Amino acid sequence: MLCRYKKAYEKIAMGLLSFMPEHKDVKKLQETICIYNSDPNWQLFLWKQAEDYIGLVGVEIKDSEWIVRHISVDPSHRGEGLGVEMIRQLSEMDLCCSIAPDSLTEPFIQKCLTMLEGADNKY
């Protein structure tokens, strides 16, 4: 289930972000979390399965588009379709907005969208 990020989960979010290659540096992680904490146009969502947070997706909201800036799944849960499910649930949150990748997330998002191709979606 996709849950809106709260500051209380900052360390969890930083841990999940650290699985992204461009966020290995602690300073970069802190800068990214700071943006999500301070800019209302940047929204972060955590994926909760049972009692654990095992994934996240971060978006920048611009007009009628949600640009996926970050997406990450705990390595022990990869290959289970969680990325696809996060994108699907994200798209259902605001039916007036479309989902778009940025240059870093594009390969993964395109893979997710291809998997969702048969579904009734608005990509």
| pLDDT tens-digit map of 75-101 | 999 999 999 999 999 989 987 788 999
pTM reported for the whole predicted model = 0.89
Number of domains in the chain: 1
| 122 occurs within a structural domain | no
| 60 occurs within a structural domain | yes
CA–CA gap between residue 9 and residue 12 (Å, rounded): 5
DSSP-derived 3-state class of residue 44: strand
Burial of 18 (0-12, 13-18, 19+ CB in 10 A): middle
| 83 occurs within a structural domain | yes
What CATH number does the domain containing 8 carry?
3.40.630.30
Residue 91 has a pLDDT of 87
| 99 occurs within a structural domain | yes
| 89 occurs within a structural domain | yes
| 15 occurs within a structural domain | yes
CA–CA gap between residue 118 and residue 103 (Å, rounded): 24
Please give the residue range of the domain that contains residue 101. 2-115
Report the chain's mean pLDDT, rounded to a whole number: 91
Residue 119 has a pLDDT of 58
DSSP H or E stretch at residue 111? helix 106-115
